[in-house]
Amino acid sequence: MKTAGRVVVAAVALALASPLLAACSSNPSTPSVTTQPNSSSSTSSSTSSSPTSSTPNGSVLAPAGNADQASPVDGISCNTNEQLALHIHAHLAIYVNGAPKLLPPGIGIGPPLQFEQTSSGPSVASGSCFSWLHTHDSSGVVHIESPVQRVYTLGDFFDIWGQPLSATQVGPAQGAATATVNGNPFTGDPRGIPLDADNVIQLDVGSALPPPQPYTFPSGL
């Protein structure tokens, strides 16, 4: 009788524990990884691909382009290894006639691109090479990962992107361009805006000029 009682108790305990075991073994927050069509596995990755949490709504200003650079652009290379002697971030927001325009994921990252699907949208996890200036997602965060200590500019970033930047044009958008840096007006050539650590940059093209929008960088970035 004692043996039978122990069997019943063990069965009840196992039934109660089963849902807890199932819950502990699941991981619903793990992002799925996808690649672009006809892409093979990539050869490098960047530790700074953490998704950001404040991607705005809007359409992409211009495609990311092909960053598989055969030669340096503005002295900036696309390397298969991380270059972290200088590792900082800046944020860029663009408005055209008051409407937000997004930076595409993968600026400065060579194909094939491998994406993580995150709660804030697709984020590039890896690619064939990483330029010292690049984007992982559409949050507006520009990653500066350089083998040397130097000041990079918004003009460098747009050259890596393959898009024009001037006082009258931002990518394909034409019109008077107004710039602010950390909420303060920038009156010079927008190409000269420095990509310093945690700089919050806003470019407004056209007549509608929204006020400078604040941005909080995600923790751990």
Condensed to tens digits (0 to 9), the pLDDT of residues 138-157 reads: 999 999 999 999 999 999 99
Give me the pLDDT at residue 102, please. 97
The strand pairing partners of 26, in sequence order, are none
Residue 16 predicted with pLDDT over 50: no
Q: Model confidence over 171-214: pLDDT tens digits?
A: 999 999 999 999 999 999 999 999 999 999 999 999 889 999 99
Distance from C-alpha of 200 to C-alpha of 64, rounded to nearest angstrom: 21
Q: Which two tokens stand for residue 102?
A: 């997004």
For residue 2, give the H/E element and its range.
Answer: helix 2-25
pLDDT given for residue 55 in this prediction: 60
**Cα 190 to Cα 212: distance, rounded to the nearest angstrom:** 15
Nearest to 202 by CA among 126, 120, 95, 76: 95
For residue 56, name the pLDDT band (cuts at 50, 70, 90): low
pTM listed for this prediction: 0.77
Taking the C-alpha atoms of residue 205 and residue 99, their distance in angstroms, rounded to an integer, is: 9
- pLDDT digits 0-9 by tens, 23-54: 333 333 333 444 443 333 333 444 444 433 45
Tokens of 88: 């900082």
